[in-house]
Amino acid sequence: MNTATVDDGHGHAGTMSLKLFISTYVFSKDHKMIGMQFLFTTLLWFIVGGLLAMGIRWQLAFPWTDMPIIGGRLFSAEGGQISPEFYTTLFTMHATVMIFFVIIPILAGAFGNFLIPLMIGADDMAFPTLNMLSYWFMWPAFICIGISFLTPPYGAGGGWTSYPPLSSVLTAAPGSEMAQTWWLIGVTLVGIASMLGSVNYLTTIIQMRAPGMTMFRLPMTIWSMFITAILQAFALPVLTAGGVMQVLDRLLGTGFFIPEGLVVNNSEMLSGGGQPLLWQHLFWFYSHPAVYIMILPAMGMVSDMLSCFARKPIFGYKPMVYAISGIAGLGFIVWGHHMFVSGMNPMLGMTFMVSTMMIALPSAVKVFNWLGTIWAGKIQFTTPMLFSLSFISMFIIGGLSGIFMAATPVDIFIHDTYYIVAHFHYVLFCGTAMAVFGAIYFWFPKMFGRSMNETAGKWHFFLTFVFMNGTFYLMHILGAVGFPRRLADPYHYETFKQLLPMNRFITWCAFGMFLSQAFFAINFFYSIFKGPRVGRNPWRANGLEWFCPSPPVAHGNFDKQPIVYRGPYEYGSPEVDEDYYPQTQPPPEGVSVGNAAESGGDH
Amino acid sequence: MGRFWSLLFLSVPILGVAVFVFAVVPGGIFANHWLPEDISQHGAVIDNLFMFILYLTGVVFVATSFLLFWFMWKYDADKNTEPVKYLHGSHTLEIIWSIIPAATLLFIAIFQMDAWADARMKYPTDKATGFKKPPLLLVTGRQFEWRMQYAGADKVIGTPDDIHLVNDLHIPVNEEIVIQIQTEDVLHSFFLPNMRIKQDVVPGMRQHIWFEAKNTGTYDIVCAELCGWGHYKMRGRLIVQTEDDFKEWMASAIAEQNKTSLNANE
């Protein structure tokens, strides 16, 4: 990572020694720099994951067609086509990269690191060295997944869920040889990195809040990061254990997930006595809470942006906190809904169905509260606000489509179809990724001391919004026909052959969506160097992060000790003439709003 | 610009509903872009539940999306001259919008339980004897084909006179049948889109599925669980025949089988 363009605040960038350079930009223990490292790395991986998606879309629109221009170089052995083996690698890697290298680390790693100390008024994280390690543990993971992708004949092709025995028997598929071992080690390392981060976030949020910053004065971003860290700390060890068990099955001949007497591809397994469903339970025990790890921080950031640009207090702060706590709690007992047709006892399916239905409730409560927040406000249509509003609009679709698959009899039909694909892309791309874009536009001035271009930002928003709906919305229709996931060529089935034109349309939209990101990439890099300089608080927002200089002081963040007098959503307060009332602003003479150190919120 | 952005968000529910209407109404620009023909007795329950949830969520989708549009339109900072409502929430509203969705979700949860129990828990019994129905055949998934094994003349699966076929599943119409499914190697999923049946097959487990076809014809068998590089081509045919045709086919298959073994003895 080279982020040497960022002024480190010491004013000696020109004469920096190598040692100082490494301690400032490479092995930095400063939470802001670590956040930046996560941001740049994950954005690069975002491009990789996007390119892999384009490969998938190419195959679904033009199956077994020579890819123009680049096909001959990429797939010379197949005459420029995507082979079915490589297709399994494409979707496996697309999901792996997007989930483990983009969404989770950009939320917790980039924004968690950058925002937590700033928003609670701390100098840094509780454990700076641990924090540095949480970033550098990602690199062995990058290397392992990179090796896995490049291991001949093809990369890992077991899907991101890595279900045994396909993933645990070396002869099961071309991608199940060493590539799968590297993949498993890589994913396990990502888990370790996240765990290191989560312990740090929990300690920091509990221990290092500024004077007056009670728990119920925390911004929703911090609440969601806090709950996310709890999910990571408790769910990840299970995935780590499962990953190690699968590696042992593959390398040392244990049989945790391999049943007795299994013969795959004419080679008999020596080990046995295991149960393939055990892996599914362990995997989803982490990976379902992980779904909330991938959405809750986005919800928190959106709540903050909505309140700021509606110039109005957030509606139902405490119900929102209880709602994300409810999502987190229920999130631990719904993993079985991924397994309704897996062969798991159908009686268990009934139980998981009820808990899954109920988890829609806190999500609904959050949507209503966001609508309540913008109601009767004064909405400023800035780029971050547009992305936040689109988060609500898209999350409504992604949330509602989840009810279909929670209904067990319906899930029999739509399980493993594009209905599921539509659902989770609406939540993860149209939801989380849009929130992340909004958050980048919103906190960019704090990160770099300059602001991004609004016109380019709005073009980026408009094109992404149109193309992503063109891409993902029609997948609901594909799913209703029963169009299955992960098929290199579904059109030889009588049931699905009429779906080719619709898939072509989706692919053109996907290409458009990918290309639209150029507006973002150019704007982002241009603005780091040439964007207009901004002051401490360009958005006239209330949070503590806007109290410190832009960018914050290299060591210690704040040039003045922040003291917190109120919650972060006091917009339009009658106590002051301005339409915002920063958390750190002392109350005017004669107005009693309670002692700064007093516990409890102001509402 | 607030007007433009509001209308963009209004287009989401309008186009969103339009796409589904075009798909549901037969013969439109999206011909055959909806739930495939249902040839099973139990499938109507699943389809009706799907449509019920579609209408219910459709109403919520339109209502909330329209509110979002309306608030954007009305409270645009450039147009709205009223001061903002300095307000932190409403207990009454929170209670209303918690209880109504909770009751609705609980209703859906309870409403569908019978359908799930019928599909996965109530193993069919023979009406005459009251005993559990024996499976008509054993289906075995393997990379990348479906192997069918009928009992043959002695009515017992697993004996030398069994009839073996690859990828062709013959069943009689208008009769509830039980199929035992299993896999020989990795996970597969036995998916009959027209029969509204999907069941993963797991190494080391033998499972049963049951259904009754109400139409004759030839339909797809799809593998719906990733099973390796050839997953996409693991296709079978479901051939639903009249009772007479099925008996005739079975008799000819048994005759064929006997002929082959006779030839082998010669």
Q: pLDDT tens for residues A477-486?
A: 999 999 999 9
Question: Do A477 and A581 form a contact (C-beta atoms < 8 A)?
Answer: no
Token pair recorded at residue A301: 């950031």
Put simply, the answer to whether B191 touches A482 (Cβ < 8 Å) is yes
A389 contacts in chain B (CB < 8 Å):
5, 9, 68, 72
What is the average pLDDT across B125-135? 89
Q: Which residues contact B6 (CB under 8 A, 6 or more apart)?
A: B69, B72, B73, B76
Q: pLDDT tens for residues A301-316?
A: 999 999 999 999 999 9
Residue A408 has pLDDT above 50, yes or no: yes
Question: Do B185 and B255 form a contact (C-beta atoms < 8 A)?
Answer: no
Annotate A456-494 with b (16+ C-beta within 10 A) or e (fewer).
bbbbbbbbbbbbbbbbbbbbbbbbbbbbbbbbbebbebe
Put simply, the answer to whether B19 touches A416 (Cβ < 8 Å) is no
Question: How far is Cα A545 from Cα A525, in angstroms, rounded to an integer?
Answer: 23
Q: Is B218 exposed, middle or buried (0-12, 13-18, 19+ CB in 10 A)?
A: exposed
Q: What percent of chain A has pLDDT over 70?
A: 95
Instruction: Name the one residue in this structure whose structure tokens are 């409504």.
Output: A396
pLDDT of residue A67: 85
Q: pLDDT tens for residues A201-258?
A: 999 999 999 999 999 999 999 999 999 999 999 999 999 999 999 999 999 989 999 9
Phi, psi of A517 (to 5 degrees): -70, -10
Q: Which amino acid is at A499?
A: L
Sheet holding B197-201, edge to edge: B168-172, B236-241, B217-223, B188-192, B197-201
B73 contacts in chain A (CB < 8 Å):
none
pLDDT of residue A590: 64
| Band (A15; pLDDT cuts 50, 70, 90) | low
Q: pLDDT tens for residues A322-372?
A: 999 999 999 999 999 999 999 999 999 999 999 999 999 999 999 999 999
| Band (A23; pLDDT cuts 50, 70, 90) | confident
Token pair recorded at residue A158: 């077991």
Question: How far is Cα A252 from Cα A231, in angstroms, rounded to an integer?
Answer: 31
User: Domains (ranges, CATH) in chain B?
Assistant: 2-80+87-120 (no CATH), 137-265 (2.60.40.420)
User: What is the bridge-based pairing of β-strands B176-183 and B137-142?
Assistant: parallel
Mutate to test the interface with A, among B54, B72, B186 (most CBs of A within 10 A): B186
Q: Which amino acid is at A502?
A: M
Q: pLDDT tens for residues A29-87?
A: 999 999 999 999 999 999 999 999 999 999 999 999 988 878 777 777 777 789 999 99
Q: Which residues contact A312 (CB under 8 A, 6 or more apart)?
A: A373, A374, A376, A377, A378, A571, A572, B84, B85, B86, B87
What is the average pLDDT across A556-560? 93
Q: Which amino acid is at A129?
A: T
Question: How far is Cα A116 from Cα A99, in angstroms, rounded to an integer?
Answer: 22
Q: Which amino acid is at A314?
A: I
The answer to whether A358 contacts chain B (CB < 8 Å) is yes
pLDDT of residue A152: 77
Q: pLDDT tens for residues B208-265?
A: 999 999 999 999 999 999 999 999 999 999 999 999 999 999 999 988 877 755 555 4
CATH class of the domain comprising A35-260+273-546: mainly alpha
Q: Which amino acid is at A548?
A: C
Token pair recorded at residue A582: 């920063």
Q: How far is CA B173 from CA A430, B135, B238, in A?
A: 45, 16, 11
The SS3 assignment for A327 reads: helix
| Band (A592; pLDDT cuts 50, 70, 90) | low
pLDDT of residue A269: 82
SS (H, E, C) A532-598: CECCCCCCCCCCHHHCCCCCCECCCECCCCCCCCCCCCCECCCCCCCCECCCCCCCCCCCCCCCCCC
pLDDT of residue B54: 97
Q: Which residues 220-249 of chain A have a CB within 8 Å of chain B?
A: none
| Band (A14; pLDDT cuts 50, 70, 90) | low
What is the average pLDDT across B34-51? 95
pLDDT of residue A413: 97
Q: What percent of chain B has pLDDT over 70?
A: 97
Q: pLDDT tens for residues A125-144?
A: 999 999 999 999 999 999 99
Put simply, the answer to whether A376 touches B82 (Cβ < 8 Å) is yes
Question: Do B23 and A477 form a contact (C-beta atoms < 8 A)?
Answer: yes
User: What is the bridge-based pairing of β-strands B163-166 and B176-183?
Assistant: unpaired
The answer to whether A123 contacts chain B (CB < 8 Å) is no
Question: Do A208 and A120 form a contact (C-beta atoms < 8 A)?
Answer: yes
Q: Which residues contact A374 (CB under 8 A, 6 or more apart)?
A: A306, A310, A312, A389, B68, B71, B72, B75
Question: Do A511 and B45 form a contact (C-beta atoms < 8 A)?
Answer: no
pLDDT of residue B26: 78
Q: How far is CA A330 from CA A195, A347, A360, in A?
A: 21, 19, 10
Around B230, how many Cα atoms within 13 Å sit in the side-chain half-sphere? Answer: 12
Closest C-alpha to A62, from A87, A27, A26, A25: A87
Phi, psi of A571 (to 5 degrees): -95, 140
The answer to whether A341 contacts chain B (CB < 8 Å) is yes
| Band (B78; pLDDT cuts 50, 70, 90) | very high
Question: DSSP label at B212?
Answer: E
Phi, psi of A34 (to 5 degrees): -65, -40
By C-alpha distance, the chain B residue nearest A262 is B185
Question: Do A416 and B224 form a contact (C-beta atoms < 8 A)?
Answer: yes
- Partner-chain residue, chosen from B49, B61, B198, that has the shortest CB–CB distance to A396: B61
Peptide bond into B13 cis (omega under 30): no
Query: How far off is chain A from B199, nearest CA to CA, in Å?
Result: 5
The neighbour count for residue B42, using CB atoms within 10 Å, is 21
Put simply, the answer to whether B194 touches A378 (Cβ < 8 Å) is no
Domain boundaries, chain A: 35-260+273-546
| Band (A154; pLDDT cuts 50, 70, 90) | confident
Question: How far is Cα A348 from Cα B130, in angstroms, rounded to an integer?
Answer: 27
- Partner-chain residue, chosen from B46, B61, B101, that has the shortest CB–CB distance to A412: B46
Question: How far is Cα B27 from Cα B129, in angstroms, rounded to an integer?
Answer: 47
Query: How far off is chain B from A137, nearest CA to CA, in Å?
Result: 30
| Band (A20; pLDDT cuts 50, 70, 90) | confident
User: What is the bridge-based pairing of β-strands B168-172 and B236-241?
Assistant: parallel
Put simply, the answer to whether A572 touches B200 (Cβ < 8 Å) is no
The SS3 assignment for B218 reads: strand
Q: pLDDT tens for residues A81-94?
A: 899 999 999 999 99
The overall average pLDDT reported for chain A is 92
pLDDT of residue A596: 45
Question: How far is Cα A404 from Cα A416, in angstroms, rounded to an integer?
Answer: 13
Q: pLDDT tens for residues A251-284?
A: 998 999 999 888 888 888 888 889 999 999 999 9
Residue B266 has pLDDT above 60, yes or no: no
Whether the predicted interface score ipTM is above 0.90: yes
What is the average pLDDT across B85-101? 95
Question: How far is Cα A316 from Cα A322, in angstroms, rounded to an integer?
Answer: 10
- Partner-chain residue, chosen from B5, B75, B204, that has the shortest CB–CB distance to A378: B75
| Band (B128; pLDDT cuts 50, 70, 90) | confident
| DSSP letter for each residue of B230-241 | TGGG--EEEEEE
The answer to whether A88 contacts chain B (CB < 8 Å) is yes
